A and B are shown apart, each in its own frame.
Chain A
Amino acid sequence: MSEDIINVSGLEVKIGKKTILDGIEVGFSSGECVLIAGANGAGKSTFLKCLTGVVLPDKGDVRYTGGIGPEKIGFISDQLSLFENFTVMQGIDFHTRVFGIENFDTSLIDDLRFDPAQKIKHLSAGERTLFNLSLVWSQQPQVLLIDEIIHVIDPFLRDKFLEAVIDLMDRCNTTVFMVNHTFSEIEKIPERVLVMADGRFIVDENTDVLARSLKKVISRAELPSDCPVIFYQQYAAEREYFIYPCNPELVERHPYEYLPVDLTEIVKTFIGGQYAKKRME
């Protein structure tokens, strides 16, 4: 991996008395694809907004290197206001002028057959998302932030959306951040997973490492106390135990059947572990 292009240090954001981001230290390199997961209210969206510069931190900062300015950072969110009363054409015109884009590439929205005179506020959720992506796409962003949007669009548009993101990653070596709650369509894309809880990252790990070292054991008997169980769920007489980190030495000591998990279960494990911890407090 190349050197970090984004450095986040001591990042703190408060809203009233509530701490939303609690002293985050993290770096990201060029071309990386990062998944940010966490319970509702963990601070994921605020973190993304700090990366875009929409939210200014109370303490600490986000530094970009390599001459990345706002015109190279794309943000896609369903909460974004896209000049609602503009028509599609006016929106494109405005965006291209603000960002100095000479050739607006319409290939992402060609299939949608927009009426250029249609107002942006009358687009469907899927159409808005693709429209938003096509604006950002034309900026050839070095950084792309995608905030909980993939699940609101239909499977056909979702494919187009993901293919466009993959295309950017390959063509522009774009660093991509995805904040998500559903993972099946995207689980093979991110190479790094960050899990957020209470304004901090409690997990920052390579996806392959997580897939290798987080395992599920189904058992009627309770697991021994030296098994690092993060979280369990009871189903009738059996429990599903989620174990992390699981290594060959543990497998040898306790020869259960260690089952593989998917990305949804990986994330659920850490979030579930946090909820369980809160119940104990």
Chain B
Amino acid sequence: MFRSSIDFGSPLPIYRQLIHLVKLEILSGRLEQGDQLPPIRELAKSLKLNPNTVAKAYYTLEAEGFVESRRGSGNWVNYKPGNLDELRKGMVEDEWKGFLERAVSLGASSKHILDIVNRDLNNE
């Protein structure tokens, strides 16, 4: 159902990884405003997760303002337009921090990193 998989060995707990996957689906436009999320039971079966974990991810998405749960009919994508811009900013920053950590652990200097960024942004 989702494009990436969930990794037990990741530093993020499984429900957090699932939240991340749903947010990626929303940001990429594969899940649109008003779409229904996969039912808890079906998603748990397809990813071989504990249904409680999926439920926890869905409540958290609701509390964070991305999902609306309707009693008896499941969970639906529902966010305020401003939330999406903030989400995008946050996720891009997380990706960037991850890149920086890996680059530094490979021994890259600040100048080297800046050069790469400038070169590739200018080529776009």
B8 interface neighbour in A33, A169, A170, A187, Cβ under 8 Å: A187
Known: A163-B45, A188-B14, A208-B14. A169 touches B9 (CB 8 A): no
Distance from A168 Cβ to chain B, minimum over Cβ atoms (Å) = 10
Task: List 13 A-B residue pairs with CB atoms under 8 Å apart, sorted by A's residue number.
Answer: A31-B52, A167-B41, A169-B44, A187-B8, A188-B48, A188-B50, A188-B53, A189-B48, A191-B50, A208-B14, A211-B9, A260-B11, A261-B9
Find the B residue at minimum CB distance from A186.
B48
Interface residues of B (CB under 8 A from A): 6, 8-11, 13-14, 40-41, 44-45, 47-53
Chain A residues in 8 Å Cβ range of B52: 31, 169, 191
CA distance in complex: A263, B6 (Å) = 14
Chain B residues in 8 Å Cβ range of A211: 8-9, 13
CA distance in complex: A185, B48 (Å) = 8
Tell whether, in the assembled complex, residue B50 and residue A33 are in contact, meaning their CB atoms are under 8 Å apart: yes
Interface residues of A (CB under 8 A from B): 31, 33, 162-163, 166-167, 169-171, 185-191, 208, 211-212, 260-263
Tell whether, in the assembled complex, residue B9 and residue A262 are in contact, meaning their CB atoms are under 8 Å apart: yes
Distance from B87 Cβ to chain A, minimum over Cβ atoms (Å) = 24
Chain B residues in 8 Å Cβ range of A171: 41
A162-B45, A211-B8 known; 17 other A-B pairs, CB under 8 Å?
Answer: A31-B52, A166-B41, A166-B45, A167-B41, A169-B50, A170-B41, A186-B48, A188-B6, A188-B8, A188-B14, A189-B48, A191-B50, A212-B13, A260-B9, A261-B9, A262-B8, A262-B9
Tell whether, in the assembled complex, residue A166 and residue B13 are in contact, meaning their CB atoms are under 8 Å apart: no
Known: A163-B45, A188-B8, A211-B8. A170 touches B13 (CB 8 A): no
